[in-house]
A and B are shown apart, each in its own frame.
Chain A
């Protein structure tokens, strides 16, 4: 297996140019409009709104302004699939369509997916959605086809500020930690890494440098594996079945005597 590869996204140097979105769409031949409909969101400079089956990269524009708009700042973040080390989508996929590659990335095999959409509900980040053209669940592949021939993913290649950096996870973590230390030195004490260590889903192979709470960026503060509920939900279901079974057995075994009493009553 090749060394684990991924993205480190430094949101503090993103300028919201959307070159990553365009490069992603061009390389992966994703449509620019959804079924021919080109809608304007009216939501800041963001017209693609979210990650989905035809938007595998999405630049978020978060406006933090005072009411009188005399003070404020923009938070910009290029979002993408996190390629989780413990991937919830891969865990639940019933067809085996979602696989882990030799680069430790997570890829949906289009020829195996049947569109059950279980992965969509399992992803804690809301990354996966249906591609209306193919009728399949789709998301960023971390340019698996480019990686196989030694090329860099299209989005990081196109990023003009190096907000999106591609490399081995080991190198990226070192770079990210140095950047956080530098920001702290220069007074930006709010800087921290989201998903860079193993605590979050075993580690996110696409992790972020943020300067505000994860919720502000539309990221879950505490994403979890879907199977966290498997044992408890199963045992409670068994308990329900046992209770129903007992109720049935008690009522049917006593049926004779009680039926006579009922008849007498009526």
Chain B
């Protein structure tokens, strides 16, 4: 092997495949939807509260799916607890400089907070009759505390996966410091898209949806800029995308998942009523393809 663009090209692929791609996608949705739910709770109007509850309803199940995917991706799933407890001493296993170690704890803590918010939302929607549960919802003090701490951990869960990839020695992943930022921003854009899609499907018309839509568009522009910056930061390593993965990145992620949704936002009359939902669906597809390309393009080297 001669004249490689980076010393990272001598490492071996860890065989992180579909389960990890799906985890990155669902983990991002869990963190992002929780964040928007908190934002609506804290800054929205009373009529937007169903939208906030929708965010909590998405976040917790997505987090459960994430935990399941991560566990079955281990070659020894029955030892998943080794991430949290030292198997020899039964003391806590905590390595703050290892994103996977810190991420395992963040998933656990975010799981707890997203569960509390999930219960609060169920109580507020009268699906569960347990009046103390209303204290878990803002504007109650406990509710605000749960939301803010949960929101911070949600962001962590959405973004640490990109940092985890950067803290390796694999080509592409460790050749740029921008993957975590890209994953955070993409988690937000896909989450806004999913919430809009489900809210529209339910026939909701509260003004919070418009605010979510505008936020989503602004984030989409940011995501595009971060992706371009990431490609530039890769330097000669970006040549690793001169293949089918590069084509998928360009047509699937950039054109289909970013540029067309942005065009649909500026030209509201193109698809009429279906403009917003089509745009949201494309953003979701683009967000999934982004993770697919990032994971598999480096796995193939």
Give chain A's interface residues, CB within 8 Å of chain B.
50, 52, 88, 91-97, 109, 111-118, 120-130, 135-136, 213, 215-216, 218-224, 226-227, 229-230, 232-234, 236-237, 239-241, 243-245, 247-249, 251-256, 258-259, 262, 266
Contact = CB atoms under 8 A, between A and B. Distances in A.
Contacts of A266: 268
Q: Which 4 A-B pairs have the closest CB atoms?
A: A115-B75, A237-B180, A114-B79, A220-B7
A114 B43 contact: no
A114 B83 contact: yes
A88 B2 CA distance: 23
B2 A252 contact: no
12 contacts: A114-B75, A116-B73, A120-B12, A124-B8, A226-B169, A226-B174, A229-B163, A230-B97, A240-B184, A241-B184, A255-B208, A258-B214
Count chain B CB atoms within 10 A of each CB in A222, A223, A226 and give the residue with the most.
A226
Contacts of A234: 163, 180
Interface residues of B, number: 76
B218 to A, nearest CB: 5
Interface of B: 1-4, 7-16, 35-36, 39-40, 43-45, 73-77, 79-80, 82-83, 86-88, 93, 95, 97-101, 104, 155, 159-160, 162-164, 166-170, 173-174, 177-185, 188, 207-208, 210-212, 214-215, 218-219, 222, 226, 268
A256 B214 CA distance: 13
A146 B225 CA distance: 56
A75 to B, nearest CB: 13
B90 to A, nearest CB: 12
Count chain B CB atoms within 10 A of each CB in A111, A130, A218, A244 and give the residue with the most.
A244
A240 B163 CA distance: 12
B168 A114 contact: no
A120 B7 CA distance: 15
A121 B3 CA distance: 21
A120 B13 contact: yes
Contact of B169 (A121, A232, A233, A243): A121
Given A94-B93, A128-B12, A232-B177, A256 B169 contact: no
Nearest to B95: A94
A117 B295 CA distance: 14
Nearest to A131: B75
A44 to B, nearest CB: 14
Contacts of B2: 213, 215-216
A118 B168 contact: yes
Contacts of A219: 10
A119 B57 CA distance: 35
Contact of A91 (B14, B93, B97, B166): B97
Contacts of A223: 7, 10, 169
Contacts of A88: 169
Nearest to B160: A237
A229 B10 contact: no
Contacts of B16: 117, 121
